[in-house]
Chains A and B, each alone.
Chain A
Amino acid sequence: MRSLREYEKIVGSAVLNQLEQLAENLTGLKVVHVNSTKAGGGVAEILSWMIPFMTELGITASWEVIQGDEPFFNVTKTFHNGLQGHQVNLLPSQIAAYEETNRSNAERLRPILEDADIVFIHDPQPAYLLHLCPNRKGKWIWRCHIDASHPARSVWKYLRPLLEGFDASIFSMAEFSKSLPHPQFLIAPSIDPLSEKNRKLRADEIARVRTKYNLDPGRPILTQVSRFDWFKDPIGVIEGYHLIRKFAPVQLVLAGGGADDDPEGAEVLRLVKEAAADDPDINILLLPPDAHRTINALQRCSTVIIQKSTREGFGLTVTEGLWKGKPVIGGDVGGIRLQVINYHTGFLVNSPEGMTQKIRYLLNHENMIEIMGIKGREFVRENFLLTRHLREYLTLMVGLRRGFASRLIAAA
């Protein structure tokens, strides 16, 4: 397990001192995070470093995962799609399955949740737990990782009363916030620069992965890493690839894994394979959840990173691409807008044609690929590494303990 001090060479010692000084106000605080999967997806990745680092800073932090069956994850996928704007029907039987799964998890988790000083509930899957812990003594925070700017009415009508009971919410962007009767905070996610997925790799390891997947180092490689999910628009990426192939011999990598809480992935993957139609230059890779080094190598050997989402909470794969010094072609939505700045770190696009045009520009201006890569990496260093993320959680927790005012003087 890494220590926070190992990040000193990346962010500097003053940033780490800052975390320790803030955390002095939180020693012994009992903090519990609850989500719905231990592996796969950005939330699990964030929690896998956040819990140990909170612990290292003197906080009694733990991570609980709710257990559900297929009907439960079908409902929560409906929530997810509905919050992201798909018109979905929410049936009474689905609501019953959702509440029943939360009820059975509450039997197991109630003692730890009711005893905690602060509980962070990630996304809607475990949100009903709040109503099943009547003797809770701490503050409960709903952390929304989803682009919930235009939720389907049916889903929001059910979820809103559940969420109103929380003491506060956290969103990645103001645009995702909702009308709720409690304080709403803004915290953008982040990446761990020393994780297997983001750490520096030796050139021979990158070359091995490139060879393993039959990628030609002499031709441009375009890569989108993400779950096989409609909102990531993998079919749109393939359409864009076909347009680019008219003028450049590019190769496309669509790499992703499934998440335990995503039952739609298999169907999306089937249709993506159909769209690829045995084109040898389209590499569709279904990777296991622990294939972090492979993803790292694939991103590092890419010429351009794509994240052509049509809805996106934040887009950690964008952050990963920028950290590896690659320009990113991103969908003009959600948190991608925070990271992809036209002509600085990449380009925002709205269609396969837009993707084609911007990649064509980059392939014809190789110096821009390098300049954007340098800017993107520094942008991430300043803003989207885990130290900033941790600092904002600590600041929020100090505020939750002390009461929010425009200015709080922390204890010495």
Chain B
Amino acid sequence: MLALTYDVGNIWLDSLLGVLALVALMTVSALMLIWLERKISARIQMRLGPMRVGPYGLLQTAADALKLIGKEDLRPKTANRWVFELAPFAVFVPTFAALVTIPFTRDWAIAFLDLGLFYVVAVTGLAFVGFLMAGWASDNKYALLGGMRAAAQLISYEVPMVVTLVAVAMVAGSLNLSEIVLFQNRIPLFVWQPLGFFIFIVAALAELERQPFDIPTAESEVVGGPFIEYSGIRWSMFFLASYTSLLIYSLLGSIVFLGGWEWPLGTEAGLWLQILLILVKTSLFIAFFMWVRFALVRLRIDQLMSYCWKVLIPLAFLQVFLNGLVLVYGWPDGFLLLTSGAGLALAMYIIYRAVDTEPRELRMVPARGGGSSAQAATVDATGSG
């Protein structure tokens, strides 16, 4: 198989080229994603978003990045120096390392690992250490609260995420991401496993710390959480890491559930079509994550935890159990679709029952004639006058 970069025959040069390619990809995509997020948020909030720097404000994020690099790298006097300064790397490196094994097309990846899925999950799961370090070392109570929230949230949501991915690996029969994609060359997995797909999206939202799960960095409560004391280039590393993980989870979702670069129904796709397909599928995830961010409010930490442990994890195991039944007894995939769909309906029903959705009626006490007759009075007045 070909690697993403040109094969020069020297393993060290190869690795260096691969890292450079990834850094370029990551930086450019993060710049684009930040611009896109600002534009989407502006659309939702009836604003224009960045318009001044470059056409349609395209260069705004580049200007912001330059500004951040030029800023002073502040460190609180009472902060624990080494932990404080290393924390951005502890967040940044795992997200970066996860990109290594993502296959972008059939032949393009830095490394085709047989345990690719396992590797991605294991490496991204390390990021919470960085949040905890940042929260603890900043010597700030908001940062501490945020760091603790981040640790609790990331570890909890790692569990349903891993279990649904296990369910996928069971039916695909491999942990190799390329083989999981090839397994879906006829019909993507989200059709057969809607429940697993749903759990993956929710867990990914939580792992990305986006609304409605942006509890660790809640702007109106802990004012940025672990990042509160960071400035300049260290802060921008956190920022870069968060957008890189957005890219990674979107890529992972499109590979594992939407069939990656494959055109459905077994058609062979050429290289450019493959690139286009994975771009479109990843963009769907990214657009969804961004849309949700500006359309929902934040959950509370106890609600978040109970939702994970009481709803998502049991349902994720249900998906594993259903997949096991299908594999052992060789039942048709249609059974999986029906039962998994029923599981999704169950998940929705649990949410519906857990939330007090009863519409509240206000008691209206009329002052003089009351508002309903006031409407009529207005009509009278305009009619006679």
Partners in one complex: no
